């Protein structure tokens, strides 16, 4: 607590603020808790502190035959609550506005690739952990190749679904160890929280694991603008799932988002554990829009088997190469590869050619 703030200054400030502690604290440059501790001590010395803030509701209630003194309210005064809500909204607005399109400056010259990992479900017995090991190693050894994760990193069974831990040989604690291992395998351009991850609520452990790794972690969606050194901008719109489905077209969700939404260059989604791809042209801007769905590393899925879902997986992931030397409207600005090794070879070729 700064020593220079005297009791007299605090008394003057709290009176001036008409008892609103947050206002007085701001004026004095003190933390609200520090101010509260000082106010308690000042009150104990016999000084008068505005009652409305310190102990509201002390007026005697007279009911004729009896009277009583109401107990103090258990919440902060309304002025303080309004001030808190204003601050909360300001933070929320700042976060939401900055999230609408997150600029990512690519410092590497020339073409790049993104390996979009399908739903990992790393703790599931049906997860191909060897493929995860191989693909994360590929990211690390390929110059210009970045990793991205569309969500559902673990099964994270919660609530009544917690009984499903009985059907897998990993415990909840082991699941988080595997998640940490997975996240620390490579750098992530973006990481999305899937529905399984978000079952943890606001205490999502994956958010904290990702934070340790300085990964861009967003719940449900991440829309990023890759800004290349030559001035090209490529917008990637990734969601755990883009709403909408069609039995005739598995790429319907991201296609709908492209045609009826933000008109970005690349749409990627996971969640349904199926691969899909469609390419569209925006008639207004002339850009080519790629609508993709990536499947999952959970290759053997009891739920899918029980429900009779058709195997629609081409690969557990997709690799997209981006050649910023091509104009925005060029249909080959982005290429999609289902076998990451093939895509990495093409990226190496593109990069060698651009030197
Ligand atoms: Fe999901
Ligand atoms: Fe999933």
Q: Which ligand has the nearest atom to the CA of 193? A: 1
Structure token pair of residue 86: 């204003």
Q: Measure the CA angle with vertex 228, ends 151 and 295; round to 5°.
A: 25
Ligand 2 centre to CA of 120 (Å) is 7
Q: Which ligand has the nearest atom to the CA of 198? A: 1
pLDDT at position 33, please?
80
Q: Which ligand has the nearest atom to the CA of 154? A: 2
Ligand 2 centre to CA of 259 (Å) is 25
Q: Which residue has the tokens 């700042």?
A: 94
Ligand 2 centre to CA of 181 (Å) is 19
pLDDT at position 51, please?
62
Nearest to 178 by CA among 212, 161, 155: 155
Nearest to 181 by CA among 114, 123, 119, 221: 123
Ligand 1 centre to CA of 124 (Å) is 13
Ligand 1 centre to CA of 39 (Å) is 51
Q: Give the distance, in angstroms, between the CA of residue 254 and the centroid of all CA atoms in the same chain.
A: 19
Ligand 1 centre to CA of 118 (Å) is 10
Ligand 2 centre to CA of 272 (Å) is 7
Q: pLDDT tens string for the chain (355 positions)?
A: 456 799 999 999 988 887 777 788 889 998 888 888 898 889 888 888 876 544 444 566 778 888 787 777 888 888 889 999 999 999 999 999 999 999 999 999 999 999 999 999 999 999 999 999 999 999 999 999 999 999 999 999 988 888 889 889 999 999 999 999 999 999 999 999 999 989 888 778 888 888 888 888 998 899 999 999 999 999 999 999 999 999 999 999 999 999 999 999 999 999 999 999 999 999 999 999 999 999 999 999 888 888 889 899 999 999 999 999 999 899 999 999 999 999 999 999 999 998 7
Q: Which residue has the tokens 């755990």?
A: 240
Q: Which ligand has the nearest atom to the CA of 303? A: 2
Ligand 1 centre to CA of 290 (Å) is 21
Ligand 1 centre to CA of 318 (Å) is 17
Structure token pair of residue 89: 């909204």
pLDDT at position 71, please?
78
Ligand 1 centre to CA of 233 (Å) is 29
CA atoms within 13 A on the CB side of 92: 6
Q: Which ligand has the nearest atom to the CA of 195? A: 1
Neighbours of ion ligand 2 (CB under 5 A): 119, 152
Tell whether pTM > 0.75. Answer: yes
pLDDT at position 58, please?
56
Ligand 2 centre to CA of 155 (Å) is 8
Q: How many Å apart are CA 302 and CA 314, to the nearest integer? A: 19
**What's the per-residue H, E or C state across 215-250?**
CCEEECEEEEEEECCCCCEEEEEEECCCCCCCCCCC
Instruction: For the sheet with 217-219, list strands across it.
Output: 217-219, 188-193, 145-149, 112-117, 317-322, 334-337
Ligand 1 centre to CA of 127 (Å) is 14
């Amino acid at each position: 607590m700064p020593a220079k703030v005297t009791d007299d200054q605090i008394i003057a400030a709290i009176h001036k603020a008409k008892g609103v502690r947050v206002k007085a604290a701001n004026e004095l440059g003190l933390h609200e808790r520090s101010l509260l501790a000082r106010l308690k001590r000042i009150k104990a010395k016999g000084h008068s502190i505005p009652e409305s803030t310190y102990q509201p509701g002390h007026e005697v209630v007279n009911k004729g035959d009896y009277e009583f003194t109401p107990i103090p309210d258990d919440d902060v005064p309304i002025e303080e609550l309004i001030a808190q809500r204003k601050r909360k909204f300001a933070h929320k607005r700042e976060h939401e506005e900055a999230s609408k399109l997150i600029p990512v400056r690519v410092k590497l010259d020339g073409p790049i690739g993104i390996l979009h990992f399908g739903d990992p479900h790393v703790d599931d017995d049906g997860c191909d952990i060897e493929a995860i090991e191989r693909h994360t190693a590929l990211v690390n050894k390929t110059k210009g190749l970045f990793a991205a994760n569309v969500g559902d990193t673990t099964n994270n069974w919660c609530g009544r679904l917690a009984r499903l831990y009985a059907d897998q040989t990993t415990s909840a604690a082991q699941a988080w160890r595997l998640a940490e291992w997975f996240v620390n395998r490579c750098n992530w351009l973006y990481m999305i929280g899937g529905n399984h991850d978000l079952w943890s609520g606001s205490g999502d452990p994956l958010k904290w694991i990702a934070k340790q790794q300085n990964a861009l972690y967003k719940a449900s969606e991440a829309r990023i603008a890759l800004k290349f050194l030559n001035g090209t901008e490529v917008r990637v719109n990734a969601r755990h799932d883009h709403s909408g489905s069609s039995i005739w077209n598995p790429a319907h969700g991201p296609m709908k988002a492209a045609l009826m939404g933000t008109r970005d260059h690349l749409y990627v989604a996971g969640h349904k554990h199926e691969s899909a791809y469609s390419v569209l042209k925006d008639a207004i801007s002339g850009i080519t829009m790629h609508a993709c769905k990536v499947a999952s590393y959970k290759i053997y899925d009891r739920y899918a088997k029980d429900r009779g879902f058709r195997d629609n997986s081409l690969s557990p992931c997709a690799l997209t190469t981006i050649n910023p030397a091509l104009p925005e409207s060029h249909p080959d600005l982005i290429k999609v590869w289902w076998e990451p090794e093939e895509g990495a070879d093409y990226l190496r070729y593109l990069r060698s050619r651009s030197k």
